Structure formats: C-alpha cells, structure tokens
Chain A
Amino acid sequence: MNRRIFMGAGVVAAAALVGVGEYLMISRTEPPTPLTGGVGGAFRLIDDNGKPFTNRDLLGKPAMIYFGYTFCPEVCPTTLTHMSAWLHALGPEAGKLRAVFVTIDPARDTAVKMKEYLSGFDPNIIGLTGTPAEIATIARDYKVYYKKVPIPGGSYTMDHSSFIYLMTAKGDLAGLIDYGEPDTKAMAAIRRLLRS
C-alpha cells in the first residue's frame, strides 16, 4: 500500500518535471500564440519587384499575411494555393484585400526568386523579403517562430509558424487561419475581415 502511494507520488512528480521542462523548452524557443498581446510593428522590406514596402503600405485595406519560404515542398505551396483559391472565390472583392507572402529564409529568397515563385499563384499575392535583420524584426513583431535546420548535403530547411494572419485596415490582428483550415471556415473569416 505504502509502496503504491510512493510510486504514485513518483509518477506525479515525474509528470510535473516533464511538464515544467516542456514549458521551459517551448517558452524559450517558441513564441506564445500571436493571439495574446497583439502583433505588428514598424518594418521595412522590399517587395518582389525590388521596391520598398513598409508597415505603412499594409494600412488602408485588410490583409492576409503568410510567413514561409520557397524551399518548402508542402506546407507553403499548399497554403499559397489555398490563398489563391480564396482570392479567386472572392471575385472583384479580392481587390479590397491585400495578400502577402513574407519569406523567413531571406538568404535564399531574393526578390527575383520570390517573383518567379509567386508567378505560379494568384497575381494579387505580394512577396516580401529583406535582410536577415529586417526579417528578424518583422518575425519578432508578428511572433513568428523560425529556425534554420541543416539537412544532409549542405542544405537546410526552416522550422516556421504556419498561420495566416488576418489584419484589419488599421493594422490590428483580427484572427489567424490555421494550416489545413477548411476552405469554408477560412472564407467566412476572410469575409468577416472584409466587413470589419
């Protein structure tokens, strides 16, 4: 009996330790959800035509913003394909929404590379890149997690947050679209954003 209680206490203590360890690991290396405390701030980047694009260029229209990279074989092209389909479904209303793809891999994603890559998607999607420091700034302010991970052969992949940010015309966070969100739910969120 005593032995069982002792073992039970041990399991609880171990679980607590694992829990704390996991919490510390996440809080140290990955940001909290963007939904707590808001996102945004001043940034200075260039678009896929090589022209300056700042936080001011986002204002005046609601926007959906996605952070990714072109070396990504699945999540990023799938997300951009869905964003393209939503813009297409909006018809003429698509002009009232900004759609932005910000690279978190500026070393490989130059403006020229972004323009070529985005030519396979809806023409309304604006590609943004910058120096590693400029990308670090916007990622910090939008609470985007990203990390370079080497793979065999000298190349690397990027761990990164996979949300689409829905921003109001005033630059406030209106909501997030998760990866794999059904189209109907995503479209409802976008239409709500357009009415806001």
Chain B
Amino acid sequence: MTRMTRALALAGAMMVAGSAYAQPVKLGALTITSPWVRPTPPGAPSAAGYLNIVNHGSVTDRLVGATTPDAASVQVHEMSMTSNGVMKMRPVPGGLAIPPGKTVALAPGGYHLMIIGPTQEFKAGESVPVTLIFKHAGKVAVSFPVANGPAKPAGAMGAMPGMTMGAMPGKAPAKP
C-alpha cells in the first residue's frame, strides 16, 4: 500500500471510528497508547518514534526491537543530557524493561525508537506502520501518525497535514 493510500485509508477509518489515532493497541498484558513519529527534515537519515506502554501483567516484559517497511531498521535508544550540555544517544542493552503495573513512556528527552534510514520523508498527517517486538508478548503492528506531538484523545485531530518542521516548531522538551 502506498503512503498516500494508507493516509487516505487512515483518514477514512478516522471518520468512521472517530479517533483511530488515539485507539489503544492491546497485546497480551500490554497496552500501547499515543504512538507518534516526528516529521523528518528533507533527506534526514533518521527519525524518532514515541509511545507509551502499559504492563497490566505480573511479569516484566521487554521491548527488544521494532521493524517498519518505511525504514532500513529500528532500534530502541535512550537520549540523555549531561550537566555540561553534552547530548548522548545509546541503544538500550537487552531491550527496554516494561515492569508489571507500570507505564513506560518513550518520549522526547528520554527513550525513543531510533528509526534509521527512512525510505522517504515523514510528513505530518501521514503515518508509519511499525511492528513492535516484545520478549514475552510477541509482535504487534501499530500505526504511528507523523505529528509534532502525540495525538489528542477522543476524536481530536493531531497536527494538521502540510505543516513543515520549520513553520511549526515542536513543543520544546523540558529542560534537562
């Protein structure tokens, strides 16, 4: 399916369902909410994906990886900032732990999906299909809308299509 038809299909689904974007995705004991991918500048060799994962179960699971047909590879990374302003990014060794009874946020300034080698520009209003891989729960397909932040719940639209990075600044992350 091309990106355009996918966008149209998603738009149609939204009209029917009210808010397909904000619909949580369930996989075993896990619930995935608020997925989103940052729009990419032209020719950007990487992109960042964000989501929340809730573990309703009684054992720790791990987000060990992800795949998408829209990029060469996906890794789970953690961003950190030292006290003297040095930004660091590292793969999370062994995958990101999702402890029982907890919600783990992949959000700006911390954990993120490092999407390496996007096959094309990620534009606001489109979406990126991602398969998340958990150690225990297995695999699940999640549609990540391209936006400057997580979609609003209950039928509200995310970022409007056509916004560019330069014209619409993303919300500044909290100062570390």
Enumerate chain A interface residues (CB-CB to B < 8 A).
26, 30, 32-33, 70-75, 77-78, 80-82, 84-85, 88, 108, 113, 116-122, 145, 149, 151-153, 155, 157, 159-163, 176, 178-183
Which residues of chain B have C-beta atoms less than 8 A from A153's C-beta? 73, 75, 116
Q: Which of B40, B46, B81, B167 touches A179 (beta carbons < 8 Å)?
A: B81
Report the bound CA distance from A159 to B85 in whole Å.
Answer: 10
- Are the C-beta atoms of A117 and B41 separated by less than 8 Å? yes
- Are the C-beta atoms of A78 and B91 separated by less than 8 Å? no
- Are the C-beta atoms of A26 and B84 separated by less than 8 Å? yes
Which residues of chain B have C-beta atoms less than 8 A from A73's C-beta? 38, 44, 46-48, 89, 112, 114-115
Which residues of chain B have C-beta atoms less than 8 A from A159's C-beta? 86-89
Q: Which of B85, B116, B176 touches A163 (beta carbons < 8 Å)?
A: B85
Which residues of chain A have C-beta atoms less than 8 A from B165's C-beta? 77, 80-81, 84, 120-121
- Are the C-beta atoms of A78 and B170 separated by less than 8 Å? yes
- Are the C-beta atoms of B44 and A117 separated by less than 8 Å? yes
In order of increasing CB-CB distance, the 4 nearest A-B pairs are A120-B41, A73-B48, A116-B43, A180-B175
Total of A-B residue pairs, C-beta within 8 Å:
139
Q: A30-B84, A81-B166 are in contact. Are A149 and B44 (CB under 8 A)?
A: no
- Are the C-beta atoms of B173 and A180 separated by less than 8 Å? yes
Interface size range on B against A: 35 or more
Report the bound CA distance from A70 to B116 in whole Å.
Answer: 12
- Are the C-beta atoms of A77 and B86 separated by less than 8 Å? no
Interface: B45 (CB within 8 A):
yes
Least CB distance, A52 to chain B, in whole angstroms: 23
Interface: B152 (CB within 8 A):
no
Could you say which of A26, A30, A74, A84 has the most chain B C-beta atoms within 10 Å of its C-beta? Answer: A74
Report the bound CA distance from A119 to B44 in whole Å.
Answer: 11
Q: A30-B84, A120-B164, A161-B86 are in contact. Are A80 and B114 (CB under 8 A)?
A: no
Interface: B58 (CB within 8 A):
no
Interface: B172 (CB within 8 A):
yes
Determine chain A's interface SS by DSSP, over half rule.
loop
Report the bound CA distance from A7 to B86 in whole Å.
Answer: 36
Report the bound CA distance from A88 to B41 in whole Å.
Answer: 18
Q: A77-B40, A77-B44, A163-B85 are in contact. Are A84 and B79 (CB under 8 A)?
A: no
- Are the C-beta atoms of B75 and A179 separated by less than 8 Å? no
Could you say which of A77, A122, A182 has the most chain B C-beta atoms within 10 Å of its C-beta? Answer: A77
Which residues of chain B have C-beta atoms less than 8 A from A160's C-beta? 86-87
Chain A's closest residue to B164 (CB) is: A120
- Are the C-beta atoms of A178 and B85 separated by less than 8 Å? yes
- Are the C-beta atoms of B42 and A149 separated by less than 8 Å? no
Interface: B129 (CB within 8 A):
no
Interface: B90 (CB within 8 A):
yes
Which residues of chain A have C-beta atoms less than 8 A from B47's C-beta? 73
Q: A73-B48, A77-B165, A84-B166 are in contact. Are A157 and B89 (CB under 8 A)?
A: yes
